[in-house]
Structure 1
Amino acid sequence: MRIDKYLWCIRIFKTRTLATTACKKGQVKIDAKAIKPSREIFGDELILVRKNQINYQIKVLDLPESRVGAKLVDLYRKDVTPKEEFEKTELLKFAKDYYRKKGTGRPTKKDRRDIDNYQEDSID
C-alpha cells in the first residue's frame, strides 16, 4: 500500500491529497529519510509524521483494505509518540500568550485617535 493512502486510511490526514502534499514537503519520513507519496509501506515500519508542530511516531501493525472507522484505527497502527512532543505544544501556547494577549493587535482608528489626543494633551 502507498504511504499516502495508508496515512489517509488510518485517519492521520483528512484527505489523501493532504497526505500526498505532506509527503512531497518532506513532513513524512521513514528511517529519517523523506519519502515520496508513492513509496510502498510494509508492516513493522516506523513512520515519522510532522503535523501541527508535533512529530508523531507511528508504528505500522497491519495494512487496511480501505479507510477505516475511528474506532478501528488502533488495529492498524500503534502511536509511539513520546509525551515530550505534546508537552512542547503546551509550552508554545504559553510562549505566545506571554508576548501578546489574544484579541489584541493593531490599534483601531478610534484607538489611534485616542493615542494621538493623549499625546497632544501631555505635550501641552
Structure 2
Amino acid sequence: MDSTRVDRWLWSIRLCSTRSEATDVCRGGHVRVNGRPAKPATTVSIGDEVAARVHGRDRVVEVVRVIDKRVGAPIAVECYVDRSPPPPSREPSAAYAERSRGTGRPTKRDRRQIERLRDRG
C-alpha cells in the first residue's frame, strides 16, 4: 500500500480513539499534512509529516509505514516517528487569589488586588 486517507491513518496508529473523531479533527482544521491544511480524504504516504492537535495536545509525527486498519499498540508505534514537542508541565503557572474562609465579602480594595493577580497570569 502506497497511501491512505489521513483520518484513517490517524485512527489506525491510535492518535484518535475512533475513526469519527479523526474525521472531526480533520474537518475542524486541526490537521496539517506537510504544512498544508488537510481534509479527511487527504492522502498520506511514507515520509509525510502530519501535525495534529488531538486531545488538547499538539502532535507532530512522520509517516514511516502506511496502514489503514487498526492494529495493536506495539505495532502502531512502529508506523510513525514522534517529533512532538514535550508536553507542558503540570505546575500551575499563575498565582491565584486565596481568601481565608469566613472573612466575608471582598472589599473594593480586595477585588482590585484579585483583578491584578488575574491580569498578570
Normalised by the length of structure 2, the TM-score is: 0.71
| Structure 1 segments of 4+ aligned residues over 6 angstroms from their partners | none
SS at match of 1:36: coil
Tell me, which stretches of 5 or more residues in structure 1 are unaligned? 102-110, 120-124
SS at match of 1:22: helix
CA distance in 2 between partners of 1:82 and 1:51 (Å) = 13
SS at match of 1:6: helix
Higher relative contact order (CA 8 A, sep 6+): 2
Normalised by the length of structure 1, the TM-score is: 0.69
CA distance in 1 between partners of 2:18 and 2:55 (Å) = 16
Say which one has the larger Rg: 1
CA distance in 1 between partners of 2:96 and 2:12 (Å) = 39
Residue 56 (structure 1) aligned with residue 37 (structure 2)? no
Tell me, which stretches of 5 or more residues in structure 2 are unaligned? 108-121
SS at match of 2:89: helix
Deviation, structure 1 residue 10: 0.3
The Cα RMSD (Å) is 2.4
Moved more, 24-33 or 10-19: 24-33
How many equivalent pairs are there?
101
Partners of 2:8 and 2:68 within 8 A in 1: no
CA distance in 1 between partners of 2:32 and 2:41 (Å) = 13
Moved more, 53-62 or 4-13: 53-62
Change in CA separation of 1:100 and 1:23 when aligned onto 2, cut-off 3 Å: farther
Pick the structure with more strand per residue.
Answer: 2
CA distance in 2 between partners of 1:6 and 1:99 (Å) = 42
Partner of 1:99: 96
Change in CA separation of 1:26 and 1:72 when aligned onto 2, cut-off 3 Å: same
2:44 corresponds, among 36, 41, 56, to 41
Percent identity, aligned pairs only?
A: 24
